[in-house]
Structure 1
Amino acid sequence: MYKLIAIDIDDTLINDDKEVTPATQTALEQAVAAGVVVTLATGRAYASAQAIARQTGLNVPIITYQGALVKNLMDEKVLYERYVPQDAVRKLFQYCVEHDLHLQTYIDDKLYAREENQKLIEYSQLNRTQYFIEPDWENKLVPQKTPKMLIIDDPAYLDELSPILRELLGNSVHITKSKPHFLEIMHSEGTKGIALEFLAGHFGCELSETIAVGDSWNDHEMLEAAGLGVAMANAIPALKEIADFVTLSNNEDGVKYAIDKFILKTVE
């Protein structure tokens, strides 16, 4: 019997029109009615994730910033938080300035960058997030606590950049991709897998009693940690390989199918 299900948002819970379909919404409600904790696990900022969580009627803690922040929806109490170490923040900013890379950071759930450009504008439109420009990054942004930093660039270039940054920043950070052109940097304990483990403990259930559903490489830690790891049909091949089950795509109510099959047991 599964007691907790953690669901990624983009390209998993929501379809390509950025909507939770009525059918999936009903499945979420049925899972909650069956006594299962339904939560979200996303790379998004809390402010962005909570809007979708509230829209779906959830009232539990949700996993945001790839696992760097777990926060209650009802009273907004922070249950778990990990910030990028300050030394790594400074090194990353310096590297991106020297190599003319677009880097953005989150402080108090607000999105900041050192200059405005097309990448920032498109990102803010995609996530419906307001952004703030702070040219004095060294004094104004580096000293602040940030759960996540994000570089936007060509996917192949980011694949080359990733090992360089791992060497530069060391073991204190967790580096992952949420989309092919998004490279995200968190605290080393800011992963969806560690956050899922924390939430399972919070609700008093075993990891074997949890399900994780996702589509991107940033979901692999939680799919590996969960009792049942579910990849979407539209997931990247590497995630499907490690998943216990591949459900339908995000445009075919894949989350609903997984809930029907493993929680409600209404499909074979």
Structure 2
Amino acid sequence: MYKLVAIDLDGTLLTDQLEITPHTITAIRQVVESGVIVTLATGRMFPSAKKFAQQLNLNVPLITYQGAVIKDVDEKKIWFERPVSKKISERLIEFSEKHQVHIQVYQDDIVYVDEDNEEIQNYARESNVSYTVVDDLSSLTDRGFTKVLFIGEPMYLEGLQIELHREFGSEAHIAKSKPNYLEVTDPEANKGTALLYLAKQLGIQQSEIIGIGDNHNDFELITTAGLGVAMGNGVEALKSVADYITKTNNDEGVLHTLEKFILEPASTIK
């Protein structure tokens, strides 16, 4: 019944220790062997997502940067790309200066900051990526940014999110991916839009897709998929729109979903 599974990384496929459990790895490989396409749909940058895809032996297009880029694991083809415009990129930098909040921008699979601080150091360590410090982020805006990320106190970012919505409206997609992460992308750069685009290219119907996520930035992923699955540790707003709520990320919720909807039904058919 299902031909495509799109799985978020942090809080979903990954445990709190940022690992994929051995049983989940085995299950994903079994699902792929059965003919179902498994991909990642993450806010992480492509180089970070690629490492997990290689661990899973996935050789498929990956949905990265919150849906702003779909690119093959082997990097031979970019399927989809929607950068933030130059105008909005410039305004976001102005916002960060006005509010004195940490901002980092992504361009050509490189993350840039204008200060080497604790926020970027923690991010780089958790995401297992390097970063580049520049004097002026505005010097990079000519081609726009793949994604812009604000990092700060959760309550503070909630107020900033409201202000950004007021400023940009439908000109930008703004969502929290973690309590202290506020992500800004192009309006067409969300996991749901990217997922539908990829499915169409692969000849897969919307009803044949499973989407699994845990946070606010997974809303479009969950509501677009034929079967939207929220993690047991997911935010309540996501659980309220999900078709199914699985176990937590630390209790192998992805494994449970794959067994329930793909592996066990296939075993029954045989």
Ranges of 4+ aligned residues in structure 1 off by more than 3 Å: none
Could you tell me which residue of structure 2 aligns to residue 164 of structure 1?
163
Aligned-residue identity in percent: 43
Write the mapping of 1:242-253 to structure 2, written as runs, cut at 5 A: 242-253=241-252
Q: What CA distance in whole angstroms lies between the structure 2 residues aligned with 1:6 and 1:260? A: 15
Q: What CA distance in whole angstroms lies between the structure 2 residues aligned with 1:226 and 1:15? A: 23
State the 1:218 CA deviation.
0.4
Q: What CA distance in whole angstroms lies between the structure 2 residues aligned with 1:193 and 1:121? A: 30
Q: Paired residues, what number? A: 267
Which stretches in structure 1 are left out of the alignment for 5+ residues?
none
State the 1:75 CA deviation.
4.1
Which stretches in structure 2 are left out of the alignment for 5+ residues?
none
8 Å CA contact retained: 1:67, 1:193: yes
Q: What CA distance in whole angstroms lies between the structure 1 residues aligned with 2:40 and 2:59? A: 11
Structure 2 counterpart of 1:207, which letter?
Answer: Q
Could you tell me which residue of structure 2 aligns to residue 144 of structure 1?
143
Could you tell me which residue of structure 1 aligns to residue 206 of structure 2?
207
Structure 1 counterpart of 2:156, which letter?
Answer: Y
Give 3-state SS (helix, strand or coil) of 2:145's partner: coil
State the 1:252 CA deviation.
1.3
TM-score calculated relative to the size of structure 2: 0.96
Could you tell me which residue of structure 1 aligns to residue 98 of structure 2?
98
State the 1:113 CA deviation.
0.8
Structure 2 residue 16 is the aligned partner of structure 1 residue 16: yes
8 Å CA contact retained: 1:233, 1:249: yes
Q: What CA distance in whole angstroms lies between the structure 1 residues aligned with 2:252 and 2:97? A: 42
Which has the higher mean CA deviation after the structures are superposed, 165-174 or 144-153?
A: 165-174
Q: What CA distance in whole angstroms lies between the structure 2 residues aligned with 1:169 and 1:117? A: 28
Structure 1 counterpart of 2:243, which letter?
Answer: D
CA-based RMSD of the aligned residues comes to: 1.4
Structure 2 residue 49 is the aligned partner of structure 1 residue 38: no
Q: What CA distance in whole angstroms lies between the structure 1 residues aligned with 2:19 and 2:131? A: 23
Structure 1 counterpart of 2:232, which letter?
Answer: A
State the 1:32 CA deviation.
0.7
State the 1:105 CA deviation.
0.2
Could you tell me which residue of structure 2 aligns to residue 173 of structure 1?
172
Write the mapping of 1:41-190 to structure 2, written as runs, cut at 5 A: 41-138=41-138, 140-190=139-189
State the 1:179 CA deviation.
0.1
State the 1:121 CA deviation.
1.3
Structure 2 counterpart of 1:142, which letter?
Answer: T
TM-score calculated relative to the size of structure 1: 0.96
Could you tell me which residue of structure 2 aligns to residue 27 of structure 1?
27
Q: What CA distance in whole angstroms lies between the structure 2 residues aligned with 1:11 and 1:76? A: 29
Give 3-state SS (helix, strand or coil) of 1:143's partner: helix
In structure 2, the CA distance between the partners of 1:117 and 1:63, relative to structure 1 (3 Å rule), is same
8 Å CA contact retained: 1:91, 1:169: no
Which has the higher mean CA deviation after the structures are superposed, 166-175 or 78-87?
A: 166-175
Q: What CA distance in whole angstroms lies between the structure 1 residues aligned with 2:205 and 2:5? A: 12
